[in-house]
Structure 1
Amino acid sequence: MTTTTPTTGAATAAVEHALTRLAEVDQPEIWITLRTEVELRELAAGIDGRRAAGEDLPLAGWTVAVKDNIDVAGLPTTAASPEVLHTPDVSAPTVARLEAAGAVVVGKTNLDQFATGLVGARSPYGVPHAAGDATRVSGGSSAGSGLAVAHGIVDVALGTDTAGSGRVPAAFNHVVGIKPTLGVFPVDGVVPASPSYDTVSVFAADLATAVVAADVIAAAGSPRPWPADAPLAARVTGAAPRVGVARPQDLTPMSPAWRAAYDDTVAAVRASGAEVVELDVSPLVDVAVLLYGGALLAERAQAFGDRLADLGDRADPTVARIVLPAREFAAVDLVRDQQALVAVRASSEALWDSVDALLLPTAPGHPTLAELAADPVGVNAWVGTYTNFVNLLDLSALAVPAVGSTRDAPVGVSLIGPAFADLALADLAVRTGLADDTGPTEAFWGAGHVDLVVFGAHRTGQPLHHEVARTGARLLGTVSTAPVYRMARLATTPPKPGVWRSDADGASIVGERWAFPRAGFADFVSGLAAPMAIGVVELADGSSVLGFLCEPRALDGAEDVTGHGDWLAVPPTPVIDSHS
C-alpha cells in the first residue's frame, strides 16, 4: 500500500512508482491495455490538484489494476477475446468508487478468456507465469490482477471470482484475495461469466490494504443489503474461535509440499488459541464438480456462448471445448443440478453451528506450465478442488498465504464462512495469526451497526465480555468520557461499575467503544440486568454515543471510585476474614 494518509503529490509519486515497476518487471503479458505515461501523469496531477484544493480523496496515492472483463471508462473491454467487446463511457461501479476516492487505474489486466479457467493461460494476449517461478502457472482467471499486485506495480487490483479466480492467483503469487459474499460488490459493468455466481474480487499485498479497498467499494451501497445480524468481527461463542479443518482423507488430492504447508498452518492456528475442529468437507468438494461438470455450465453458454462461437478458431480452444457444448443441455438437466445444489446448500448450513469458519487449502498444489499443457482441463479441475463450491453455496472467503509461503514458493489457504461473514473472516485471520492487521476499525463495508461504550465487566478480558463477543461486535478502541461523570462500585456479582452524569463534580471515565451488529445489539440489550441501563454518554471529543449508565437506586451505599478514572484501575473488593 502506498499510503493511507497521503501527502501533497502522493498521486504523482504513486504513478511514478508504478511506471518504474512496469519497466523493471517487463512482463507485457500481465496487461491487455495500459494507459500511457502521459495519461497516467495527467490523472495523477489532477488528483493532486484536487487534494491541494481541499477535496477529501482518501485513496489519493493509490494505484489500481483492473481485470479486463470489468469496465473502465475510455479503455476497451475485451474479456481476453481477440476482439474488443466495447469501449465504455463509464466505469463499472466497483472501479468508479475507487476512482472517486482518488485512486488511479493503471490499466486492464490479462485473464483466462471470458473468465473461464483457474490457470491464467487461456488468453491470446500471452501466457503469464507465477511472480516467483517462471515455470509455474500464474493462477486465473484473474491472472494479470494477481501479478500486478505481486510485482508491486499497483496497490490494489480488481479481479472477478466465480470458481476461485479471486483466490487462486492470490495463492500462486503470495498475496491476499478477498472473495466477498455474492452481491456485496455490484457487478454492473462486468462481462458476465456465470451470472448467478459471479462477483468482483480484490487483490492486495496485505489484508489491511484489501480491507480498505473493499470498504470503499461496498460502503457506497450493495445490491444485496447486509442483514442485521451480519457479524462485524468473529463471533466467539466459547473461550476461543472455532475453526473447521479438513480430515486427512479429504486432503488426498494435495501435493506433498502444499499438504505440509496446510498442516503447518492448521498447527499455527491451533497454537494461536483457536479451537480446531476436524470436519467432513467431502460434500462440499463433491458438489464443486457441478460448476464445470454439469448443466450449470449453461449459464456460461448463455452469457457468452454466441460470442465464443462467432470467434470460431480464434477462440481459446479449451474455453470453447468447455462452454460451447453446454448450449445443448436440456432444461431438465439444469433443474436436476440446481436441485442437487439446493440440497447440499441446505445441509451445509449446519456447518456454521459447529465452527466460526473453515480453513481449507486454496488449491491442492501449484502446477507447472508443462503440466497444464499436457492436460489443460484436468489440471484446471484439480486446481479448483477447494474453491469451486464456495460461490455455488453462497459463501464468503478470504485467501491468505499459508505458513511458510514465500514469493518463490507460494502456498495459499482460505478462510471460508457463510454469506456475510466477510468482516468476521478478516478479523479471524488476524486473531489466528494468518494476517497482521485488518486495517481501520471503521471499515464496515456498508454493514449497519450500533456503537456502545462499556465501562466495566463487559470490557476485554472481564467476566462478562463473552456477552459482547458472541454478538460479533468489533472493538473500536478505548475512549474517555467528558469530565462530567462519576463511577461507583456496585454490589453485584460480578462487581460492576455504576457510571452516572454529575456536571458539578464529575471526572473523565475510561471505557471501550464497541460496534455491534444491529440484531446483536438488540439481543445484547434484551439480556441487560438491573441496575444497568443504556443512555447517551458524552465523550471527551464532544461526540455522543450510547453507553452503560446506572439506575440511581443502585448507588445508595455504593463505594465511590471516581478517583481511579478507570474500572480496571480500581483495586479488588477487600476480602474480610471472618476469623480475624
Structure 2
Amino acid sequence: MINHFPASLDIKTLSAAYRRGRITPVRLIEALLARLDTEPEQPVWIYRLPADEVLGYARALERRSPAELPLYGIPFAIKDNIDLAGAPTTAACSAYAYHPERSAFAVRKLIEAGAIPIGKTNLDQFATGLTGTRSPYGACPNAFDPDYISGGSSSGSAVAVTKGWVSFALGTDTAGSGRVPAAFNNLVGLKPTPGVISTSGVVPACRSLDCVSIFALTAGDARRVFRVAAAFDPSDPYTRCDGTVRPEFAERFRFGVPRPDQLEFFGDKDAERLFAAAAERLEAIGGLRIEIDFAPFLEAGRLLYEGPWVAERYLTIRELLDRDPDAVYPVTRTIIERGKHYLASDTFAAFYRLMALKRAAEEAWAQADVILTPTTGTIYRIAEVEADPVRLNSNLGYYTNFMNLMGLAAVAVPGGFNSGGLPFGITLFAPAGSDHALLNLAERLHYAAGLTMGATGQPLPAPSSQSEREKPGHVRIAVCGAHLSGLPLNGQLTRRRGRLVKATRTAPSYRLYALPDGKRPGLLRQVPGAAIEVEVWELPVSEFGSFVAEIPAPLGIGSVELDDGERVQGFLCEAYAVADAFDITEYGGWKNYLRARDPT
C-alpha cells in the first residue's frame, strides 16, 4: 500500500500497480484529494466533487478485482459542458447552469469501466474559443508558463492531466478544442471520427459537428479510454452505426504535408523548426513525405466561423441571449450572435461549397495515407489574446477548423519544446475510421521524440509492443485448448486467416478443468485462481461469426483478462460443466496437462 501520491498517474503504470496490489482505489483517491487541496487556487476546476462522493466511487471498486474492469480506479476529469449526474453543468456560464439527473453516455461508460470522476473543468464559455481565456471563472494559464495561454476550449481538462491531477480527461472538439490544449500542454489529444463517441449529454456547440475528445499522457492511454468510450448509443442520432474501421498504415506509408507556401507559423521560427524535425522523425519510422495541396482544407476551415455553422451555436443559447445577454462572455456573445442573421439559402450554399471542397480534397487522399501538420502555428501570451481576441483565436484554428466539417479523425501529439520551454504539438489526421491506426502511429512518433509526460517530468512508460497494438478490423481471441498451435483444432483459426499474436497467460484468477470427454479443457473465472497459459490469435471480423458458430456447448466466447491487464475475447466454460470435470489448474495449461498425461 502507499501513503503518498504516486509519481505518475498514467493509466498503464497505475493499472499495473493495482494488479500487483501496490495500491488501492481508496488510498489513491485519499492521496489525490490531499494533493489537490494543497494546490494553489487556479481556474482549472469549475466544480470538484465532494470528497465523500469521490471516495464512494473508490470504495465500491474495492469490492471488485482490478482484473474485472479496464479502467479500474483511474481518476479522470470532465469538461463542464459534459453531464455528470448530480454535478452542475455550467458550460462556463452560471446563468445557464443545470443539474442533470443522468450522466452523459460516454461518462457512464467510463464509470462502468471503473474510472473515478474527480470534477468538472473550466472551458472557453460554451466551447467557443481556442484560447482558454474566455471564461468568467478565469483564464486558465499554461502549465509550463502562466503568462501563456493553455489553449481552449477544453483548457481545464488539459491542465488537469498535464499536471498529473488526473490520469485522463474528457473534452469536446468542434474546431480544435481537443487538440490545441493538448499541443500547449505536452499531451496527446484524440479527436475521434465524428459520431464514434456519443455526444448524448453534451451541451452542443455545433451539434452536427461536435466530438467528445480525450486528453491523455500517452497515446496508449488514449487508446485504452477510447476502447471504452467508443460504444454505439442508439439515443444519439449522430452516433455512427456503420462500424467503418480503416486498416493500419503499412510499414512504409505516405504522409502528406502542406506545400511550403501553405504552411503558416505566424513568424514563429521555433515552431517552424520543430515541425520540420517532426516530419523527419515520421520519415525515420517509415513515412514517405509528399507535398499536398492544402487549399481545400483551409477553405473548409473558414466556413466554420465565416459560414452558417455559427447559427448552430446561436441555437443552443438563443433563449439565454434573449433573456439575459449580459450573462454571456462579451467576446463569446459577439461571435455567437452573428448566427441569427443567416438565411436558409446561405446554409445550403455553404453545404454545396463544402461538398465541392471534400471532392477537391480527395486528390490529397489519393496521394497520402495520413497528413501531418502543426497543431497550431504558434502560441500566445494571455495578454496578447485579451488585446486581440478574435484575430489571434482565428490564427490558432488555421490547422484545426476544417477537421469535423470534413469528417476526419485526428490525434494531436507532443512535438518538442521551443526555446522558451513551451510545448509544441503536431497533428496526424486521416479519413473517418482511422482512429486506431492514428493512435498507433502517434504512439510511435511520440516515443521517437523522446519527451516526458505532460508537465510531470516523468519519462514515458515502456511503449506498447506490436502485439499489444490493436489491429482494426480484427478480433483477438484467447485460446487455451485444442485450438492451440499444433493441436487438432488449430486449423479452424489458420484457414480463416488467423494470426498468432502472442503466447501469454491469463490474469491469476482462472481455473482450468479437463472436461469429461478428455478432449478439451474448460476455463472458468474463479477465486482463488491461477494464471493459465493461452495463445492470443487475431481473426478478421468477417470470419469471427463462423468461428464462434463451430464452438460446442458447454464452451462459449466471453471476455478474458490477460496477465498484463489486456482484455480479449476468449474461450470460457459454463460453470455447470465443471461439476464432473477434473481440475488441472496446477499444470498451468492444457499442453502441460497433455504432456503429463501421455509423456510419449
- Shorter-chain TM-score above 0.5: yes
The offset of 1:439, in angstroms, is: 8.3
Q: Which amino acid aligns with 2:53?
A: E
Q: Match of 2:49?
A: 35
Whether 1:341 and 2:345 are equivalent positions in the alignment is no
Tell whether the 8 Å contact from 2:300 to 2:357 is kept in structure 1 after alignment. Answer: yes
Question: How far off its partner does 1:11 sit?
Answer: 1.4
Partner of 2:104: 92
Deviation, 1:449, is 2.9
Superposed CA RMSD: 3.7
For 1:109, the equivalent position in structure 2 comes to 121
Structure-2 change in CA distance of 1:438 and 1:405 (3 Å): farther
Report 1:461-476 matches (<5 A). none
Q: 1:15 to 1:23 in 2, by over 3 A?
A: same
Report the number of matched residues.
484
Relative to 1, partners in 2 of residues 1:448 and 1:240: Cα closer, same or farther, differing over 3 Å?
A: closer
Q: In 1, Cα distance between the equivalents of 2:418 and 2:74?
A: 26
Among residues 481, 502, 518, which one is paired with 1:478 in the alignment?
Answer: 502
Letter in 1 for 2:365: W
CA contact (8 A) 1:426 1:438 kept: no
Query: Residues 2-48 of structure 1: CA distance to partner in whole angstroms, max 9, x if unpaired?
Result: 52242465211331342244234424300111112232223322222
- Alpha-carbon distance, 1:407 to partner: 10
Asked if the contact 1:173/1:407 (under 8 Å) is kept, the reply is: no
* SS at structure 2 position matched to 1:196: coil
Structure 2 portions without partners, runs of 5+? 1-9, 449-461, 479-496, 505-518, 520-533, 556-561, 563-568, 572-600
| CA offsets 1:490-531 (integer angstroms, 9 cap, x no match) | xxxxxxxxxxxxx9xxxxxx9984454549x99xxxxxxxxx
Aligned partner of 1:241 among 248, 253, 274: 253
> Per the alignment, do residues 517 and 444 of structure 1 end up closer, same or farther by CA in structure 2, a change over 3 Å counting?
same
Which residue, out of 58, 63, 69, partners 1:44?
Answer: 58
How far did 1:147 drift? 0.5
In 2, Cα distance between equivalents of 1:334 and 1:170: 32
Residue 293 to residue 439, structure 1, CA distance change in 2 (3 Å): farther
Distance 1:115 1:22 in 2: 25
Residue of structure 1 aligned with 2:435, choices 422, 426, 449: 422
CA separation in 2, counterparts of 1:42 and 1:34? 14
Matches within 5 A, 1:165-564: 165-219=177-231, 224-225=239-240, 227=242, 230-231=245-246, 233-236=247-250, 240-254=252-266, 255-404=268-417, 408-432=421-445, 437=463, 449-450=474-475, 477-479=501-503, 513-516=537-540, 518=542
Residues 186-227 of structure 1: CA distance to partner in whole angstroms, max 9, x if unpaired?
A: 110000010110010100111111111111111466864464
Between stretches 431-440 and 322-331, larger displacement belongs to 431-440
Is the 8 Å Cα contact of residues 229 and 518 (structure 1) preserved in structure 2? no
1: CA distance, partners of 2:78 / 2:500: 32
SS at match of 2:90: coil
User: Are the equivalent residues in 2 in contact too, given 1:131–1:147 (CA < 8 A)?
Assistant: yes
| Aligned partner of residue 349 in structure 1, secondary structure | helix
Q: Which amino acid aligns with 2:256?
A: G
Aligned partners of 2:98 and 2:272: how far apart in 1? Answer: 43
**Equivalent AA in structure 1 for residue 356 of structure 2:** A
Contact 2:105–2:201 (8 Å) recurs in 1: yes
The answer to whether the 8 Å contact 2:175/2:402 transfers is yes
Cα 1:13–1:229, aligned 2, differ >3 Å: closer, same or farther?
same
Q: Higher Cα Rg: structure 1 or 2?
A: 1
Which residue in the other structure is 1:147 paired with? 159
Give the TM-score normalised by structure 1.
0.76
User: How much does 1:262 deviate?
Assistant: 0.5
Q: Distance in 2 between matches of 1:452 and 1:100?
A: 23
Task: State how far apart, in whole Å, the 1-side matches of 2:252 and 2:41 are.
Answer: 45
Equivalent in the alignment of 2:15: 4
Deviations 1:251-285 (A, max 9, x none): 13442111111011001111222211121212211
Partners of 1:38 and 1:376 in 2: how far apart?
A: 40
In the aligned structure 2, how far is the partner of 1:225 from the partner of 1:430?
25
CA–CA separation in structure 1 for the residues paired with 2:148 and 2:570: 54
- CA 1:203–1:452 in structure 2 vs 1: closer, same or farther (change >3 Å)? closer
Distance 2:536 2:54 in 1: 44
Contact between 2:220 and 2:443, CA under 8 Å: does it hold in 1? no
1:58 aligns with 2:73: no
CA drift at 1:437: 3.6
Deviation of 1:443 after TM superposition, in Å, equals: 7.7
Residue identity over aligned pairs, in percent, reads 37
Q: TM-score, normalised by structure 2?
A: 0.73
